[in-house]
Amino acid sequence: MLSERQRMILNAIIDDYIRSAEPVGSRSISKRGDVSFSPATIRNEMADLEEMGLLEQPHTSAGRIPSIKGYRYYVDHLVKLGGVGDQDVRTLRTFFAEKMNRWEGIVEHAATILSQMTNYTSIVLGPEMFHTTLKHFQLVPINDVSAVAIIVANTGHVEHRTITIPDGVSMDDMTKTVNLLNERLAGVPFYKVKSVLHSEIAKELSRYVEHCEDILSLLDQTITEEQEPKVYLSGASNMLTQPEFKDVDKAKTILEMLEETQMLMQLFQSNSDGIQVKIGTENSLEAINHCSLITATYSFDGQSLGTIGILGPTRMEYGKVISLLDYLSKDIAQLMSRWHK
Amino acid sequence: MLSERQRMILNAIIDDYIRSAEPVGSRSISKRGDVSFSPATIRNEMADLEEMGLLEQPHTSAGRIPSIKGYRYYVDHLVKLGGVGDQDVRTLRTFFAEKMNRWEGIVEHAATILSQMTNYTSIVLGPEMFHTTLKHFQLVPINDVSAVAIIVANTGHVEHRTITIPDGVSMDDMTKTVNLLNERLAGVPFYKVKSVLHSEIAKELSRYVEHCEDILSLLDQTITEEQEPKVYLSGASNMLTQPEFKDVDKAKTILEMLEETQMLMQLFQSNSDGIQVKIGTENSLEAINHCSLITATYSFDGQSLGTIGILGPTRMEYGKVISLLDYLSKDIAQLMSRWHK
DNA sequence: GTTAGCACTCGACGCATTGGAGTGCTAACG
DNA sequence: CGTTAGCACTCCAATGCGTCGAGTGCTAAC
- Show which positions of strand D are touched by protein (CB under 7 A): 3-6, 9-12, 21-27
Q: Chain A, 71-90: which have a CB under 8 Å from a chain B CB?
A: none
Q: Write down the pLDDT at residue A198.
A: 85
- Which pLDDT band, with edges at 50, 70 and 90, does B340 fall under? low
Q: Write down the pLDDT at residue B229.
A: 83
A218 vs A148, which has greater pLDDT? A148
- The spacing between the Cα labelled CA in A71 and the C1' in C9, in angstroms, equals 27
- The spacing between the Cα labelled CA in A62 and the C1' in D22, in angstroms, equals 7
State the CATH number of the domain containing residue B206.
3.30.390.60
Q: Please tell me whether residues B266 and B216 are part of one structural domain.
A: no
Mutate to test the interface with B, among A145, A152, A228, A230 (most CBs of B within 10 A): A152
Q: Which nucleotide is nearest to A27 (CA to C1')?
A: D23
State the CATH number of the domain containing residue A285.
3.30.450.40
Q: Please tell me whether residues A107 and A234 are part of one structural domain.
A: yes
Mean pLDDT, chain A, rounded, equals 91
Least confident of A117-126, B135-144, B319-328: B135-144
- Nearest-CB residue to B255 (from A148, A156, A237): A237
Q: How many CA atoms lie within 13 A of A1 on its CB side?
A: 5
Contacts of A180 (CB under 8 A, 6+ apart): A201, A204, A205, A208
Q: Please tell me whether residues B38 and B71 are part of one structural domain.
A: yes
With CA atoms as reference, the chain B residue closest to A245 would be B248
- The spacing between the Cα labelled CA in B262 and the C1' in D13, in angstroms, equals 41
- Nearest-CB residue to A259 (from B156, B237, B339): B237
- Measured distance CA(A271)–CA(A78) in Å, rounded: 24
Check: CB of residue B325 under 8 Å from CB of residue B294.
yes
Over residues A149-169, the pLDDT tens digits come to 999 998 888 999 888 888 888
State the CATH number of the domain containing residue B66.
1.10.10.10
On the 0-12 / 13-18 / 19+ scale of CB atoms within 10 A, B222 is buried
From B224, B240, B265, give the residue that closes a domain: B224
Q: Write down the pLDDT at residue B271.
A: 66
Q: Which nucleotide is nearest to B50 (CA to C1')?
A: C23
- CB-based contact, A32 to chain B, within 8 Å: no
Q: Please tell me whether residues A236 and A273 are part of one structural domain.
A: yes
Q: How many CA atoms lie within 13 A of A292 on its CB side?
A: 22
- Chain B residues with CB under 8 Å of A341 CB are 143, 145
Q: Write down the pLDDT at residue A316.
A: 97
- Show which positions of strand C are touched by protein (CB under 7 A): 2-5, 8-11, 20-26
Over residues B105-120, the pLDDT tens digits come to 889 999 999 999 999 9
Footprint of strand C on the protein (CB under 7 A): A 5, 37-38, 40-41, 44, 59-62; B 23-28, 39-40, 43, 46-47, 50, 57, 60-64
Give the per-residue SS3 of B201-235: HHHHHHHHCCCHHHHHHHHHHHHHCCCCCCEEEEC
Q: Which nucleotide is nearest to A25 (CA to C1')?
A: D23
Q: Write down the pLDDT at residue B336.
A: 79
- Nearest-CB residue to A142 (from B138, B246, B340): B340
Q: Is the pLDDT of residue A209 over 90?
A: no
Q: Please tell me whether residues A217 and A143 are part of one structural domain.
A: yes
Task: State the smallest CA–CA distance between residue A263 and chain B in angstroms.
Answer: 15
With CA atoms as reference, the chain B residue closest to A105 would be B161
Q: Please tell me whether residues A208 and A243 are part of one structural domain.
A: no
- Measured distance CA(A77)–CA(B38) in Å, rounded: 74
Q: Please tell me whether residues A64 and A163 are part of one structural domain.
A: no
Average pLDDT over residues B59-73: 96
Q: Please tell me whether residues A333 and A246 are part of one structural domain.
A: yes
| Number of domains observed in the structure of chain A | 3
Task: State the smallest CA–CA distance between residue B143 and chain A in angstroms.
Answer: 7
Q: Write down the pLDDT at residue B225.
A: 67
Q: How far, CA to CA in Å, does B260 sit from each of A231, A320, B124, B257?
A: 17, 25, 14, 5
Q: Is the pLDDT of residue A217 over 70?
A: yes
CB contact under 8 A, B142 and A163: no
Q: Is the pLDDT of residue A9 over 80?
A: yes
Over residues B11-64, the pLDDT tens digits come to 999 999 999 999 999 999 999 888 889 999 999 999 999 999 999 999 999 999
CB contact under 8 A, B143 and A255: no
Over residues A267-280, the pLDDT tens digits come to 988 768 889 999 99
Q: Please tell me whether residues B249 and B334 are part of one structural domain.
A: yes
Q: Please tell me whether residues A124 and A233 are part of one structural domain.
A: yes
Q: Is the pLDDT of residue B79 over 90?
A: yes
Provide the number of CB pairs (under 8 Å) joining chain A to chain B.
107
- Measured distance CA(A65)–CA(A25) in Å, rounded: 9
Q: Please tell me whether residues B118 and B210 are part of one structural domain.
A: no
Q: Chain B, 221-260: which have a CB under 8 Å from a chain A CB?
A: 222, 225, 234-237, 240-241, 245-246, 248, 251-252, 255-256, 258-259
- CB-based contact, B132 to chain A, within 8 Å: no
Give the per-residue SS3 of chain B: CCCHHHHHHHHHHHHHHHHHCCCECHHHHHHCCCCCCCHHHHHHHHHHHHHCCCEECCCCCCCEEECHHHHHHHHHHHCCCCCCCHHHHHHHHHHHHCCCCCHHHHHHHHHHHHHHHHCCEEEEECCCCCCCEEEEEEEEECCCCEEEEEEEECCCCEEEEEEECCCCCCHHHHHHHHHHHHHHHCCCEHHHHHHHHHHHHHHHHHHHCCCHHHHHHHHHHHHHCCCCCCEEEECHHHHHHCHHHCCHHHHHHHHHHHHCHHHHHHHCCCCCCCEEEEEHHHCCCHHHCCEEEEEEEEEECCEEEEEEEEEEECCCCHHHHHHHHHHHHHHHHHHHHHHCC
Least confident of A125-129, A174-178, A206-210: A206-210
Q: Please tell me whether residues B240 and B175 are part of one structural domain.
A: no
From B189, B224, B259, give the residue that closes a domain: B224
To the nearest whole percent, how much of chain A has pLDDT over 90? 64
On the 0-12 / 13-18 / 19+ scale of CB atoms within 10 A, A169 is middle
Q: Write down the pLDDT at residue B1.
A: 84
Over residues B135-167, the pLDDT tens digits come to 999 999 998 888 999 999 988 889 998 888 888
Average pLDDT over residues A300-321: 93
Q: Write down the pLDDT at residue A240.
A: 96
From A224, A256, A291, give the residue that closes a domain: A224
Q: Is the pLDDT of residue A308 over 90?
A: yes
Which residue range(s) make up the domain with B47? Answer: 4-78
Q: Write down the pLDDT at residue A271.
A: 65
The C-alpha angle with vertex B293 and arms to B50 and A109, in degrees rounded to 5, equals: 145
